[in-house]
């Protein structure tokens, strides 16, 4: 393995290790046992899902207990604004403008983090354990709100910085790998919990076998669809072929069925979990009913999640796949799609192909997100299981493997070029 690749892998692992260490640093002045007891009793609602995405950092109320969700929420807001306002969209495409764009996302993340941190801090004031112990060990509540808000803000900023460093200096997409690491870290405890359910006869072996089968089928479907692509053939004039005899010329345009990747489920989960963290702070019975209505164990939550996933699949696919730029680059290189005129007609053709693929890709994402939950609910499984976590883990693992493979091929190409082959 190349030294550069090994360095990038070690950097990625180092930052992920730092992320997991931060998950064990609690906010000052909190009773961790009471908070863990509270999360254990709410494992089946939005808090349980939030705890899963944070890598169990929420149940410890660590400095990164809010996870990467404030950053994702800020990114959603900016993506929607960039699609609405052309000037902001142009800013994103420019090299210097992209730095300003990212800076706006960071400031928006700070604002969202402060709002969520204050909501969590206020909610903890009325939280007590079974023995009557309070979740807050300090008498001055205003002081606690200030300290916890600053702690969570610093933790979220560190987490955002870790994600950016992994993207720039490591292998893979930083934010996706952080979510991946958080979900994977919960697998051992999930296995232990399942064993306890079997020992206490709350779940039998037949149901467990069906759950394992559902997980394996879900993984198989995800791998099959994520690897699938439509290859649009490209032809070149004889002159272009003769001029590039010693160069590799792309003879097709690969268009994936799922152009948007894991972004839609992550965005949908971030939006649906945001109200839960705010509403949980209230003791009003009506607001508590709304919070219970938005539980991941409910049909309404999963129906809204399906719609949001489909929406974001179309929205993000339109950003990720720019048919106009592809058609212009193809025309400059002297290439064309057989039977389609170069330029605007090529752009329209590619856009139509991408739209048809995105339709099936969005349905696939929505089904993978919701169907496993429906099946496990039908089987009466006493814990939350959704396809979102499986989709993220498998997709991020595949993407990281592709990046490592691309890096290996790039190093081989450089070596062969250096020796004149």
Average of pLDDT values for 325-341? Answer: 82
* pLDDT for 283: 63
| Bridge-based pairing state of the strands 229-233 and 235-236 | unpaired
User: Are 166 and 177 in contact, with CB atoms under 8 Å apart?
Assistant: yes
- Whole-angstrom CA distances from 42 to 45, 126, 202 are 6, 16, 18
| DSSP 8-state symbol, 132 | S
Selected residue with higher pLDDT from 215 and 353? 353
Range from 35-49, 120-134, 300-314 carrying the lowest mean pLDDT: 35-49
pLDDT, residue 363, reads 92
pLDDT at 60 over 70: yes
**CATH number, residue 212:** 1.10.3370.10
The pLDDT of residue 381 is above 70? no
Residues 138-156, mean pLDDT to the nearest whole number: 87
Q: Range of 320's domain? A: 3-418
Q: Which residue has the higher pLDDT, 289 or 169?
A: 169
For residue 249, pLDDT beyond 70: no
Among 55-59, 249-253, 344-348, 414-418, the range with the most confident prediction by mean pLDDT is 344-348
pLDDT (average), residues 315-339: 82
More confidently predicted of 178 and 414:
178
By CB neighbour count within 10 A (0-12 exposed, 13-18 middle, 19+ buried), where does 309 fall? buried
List Cα–Cα distances, 41 to 144, 202, 277, in angstroms. 24, 16, 16
What's the Cα-to-Cα distance from 264 to each of 73, 186, 261, 308, 342, rounded to whole Å?
12, 22, 7, 7, 32
For 151-155, what is the mean pLDDT? 91
Question: Quick one: what percent of the chain has pLDDT higher than 90?
Answer: 7
> What is the rounded CA–CA span in Å between residue 297 and residue 339?
51
Q: What is the mean pLDDT of the chain?
A: 80
Q: Establish how many alpha carbons lie within 13 A of residue 314's alpha carbon, considering only the half-sphere containing its beta carbon.
A: 11
Give the number of domains in the chain.
1
This prediction's pTM: 0.77
Structure tokens at 225: 């669809």
């Amino acid at each position: 393995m190349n030294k550069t690749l090994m360095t990038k892998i070690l950097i990625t692992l180092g930052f992920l290790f730092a992320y997991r260490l931060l998950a064990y640093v609690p906010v000052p002045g909190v009773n961790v046992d009471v908070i863990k007891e509270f999360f254990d009793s709410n494992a089946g609602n939005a808090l349980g899902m939030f705890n899963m995405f944070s890598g169990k950092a929420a149940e410890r109320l660590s400095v990164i207990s809010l996870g990467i969700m404030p950053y994702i929420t800020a990114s959603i807001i900016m993506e929607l604004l960039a699609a609405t306002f052309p000037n902001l969209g142009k800013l994103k495409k420019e090299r210097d403008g992209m730095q300003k764009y990212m800076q706006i996302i960071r400031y928006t993340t700070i604002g969202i983090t402060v709002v969520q941190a204050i909501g969590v801090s206020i909610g903890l004031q009325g939280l007590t354990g079974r023995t009557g112990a309070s979740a807050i060990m300090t008498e001055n509540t205003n002081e606690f709100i200030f300290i916890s808000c600053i702690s969570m803000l610093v933790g979220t900023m560190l987490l955002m910085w870790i994600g950016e460093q992994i993207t720039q200096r490591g292998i893979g997409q930083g934010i996706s790998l952080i979510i991946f690491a958080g979900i994977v870290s919960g697998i051992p405890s999930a296995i232990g919990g399942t064993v306890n359910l079997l020992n206490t006869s709350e779940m039998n072996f037949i149901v467990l076998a069906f759950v394992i089968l559902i997980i394996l089928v879900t993984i198989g479907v995800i791998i099959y669809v994520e690897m699938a692509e439509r290859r649009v053939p490209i032809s070149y004039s004889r002159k272009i072929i003769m001029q590039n005899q010693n160069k590799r010329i792309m003879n097709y345009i690969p268009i994936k069925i799922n152009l948007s990747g894991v972004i839609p489920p992550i965005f949908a989960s971030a939006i649906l979990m945001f109200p839960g963290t705010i509403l949980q702070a209230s003791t009003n019975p009506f607001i508590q009913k709304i919070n219970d209505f938005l539980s991941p164990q409910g049909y309404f939550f999963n129906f809204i999640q399906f719609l949001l996933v489909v929406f974001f699949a179309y929205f993000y696919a339109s950003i990720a796949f720019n048919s106009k730029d592809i058609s212009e680059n193809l025309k400059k290189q002297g290439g064309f799609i057989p039977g389609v005129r170069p330029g605007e007609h090529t752009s329209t053709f590619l856009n139509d192909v991408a739209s048809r693929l995105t339709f099936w890709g969005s349905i696939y994402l929505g089904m993978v997100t919701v169907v496993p939950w429906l099946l496990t609910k039908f089987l009466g499984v006493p814990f939350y299981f959704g396809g979102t976590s499986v989709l993220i883990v498998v997709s991020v693992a595949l993407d990281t493997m592709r990046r490592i493979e691309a890096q290996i091929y790039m190093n081989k190409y450089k070596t062969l070029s250096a020796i004149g082959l």
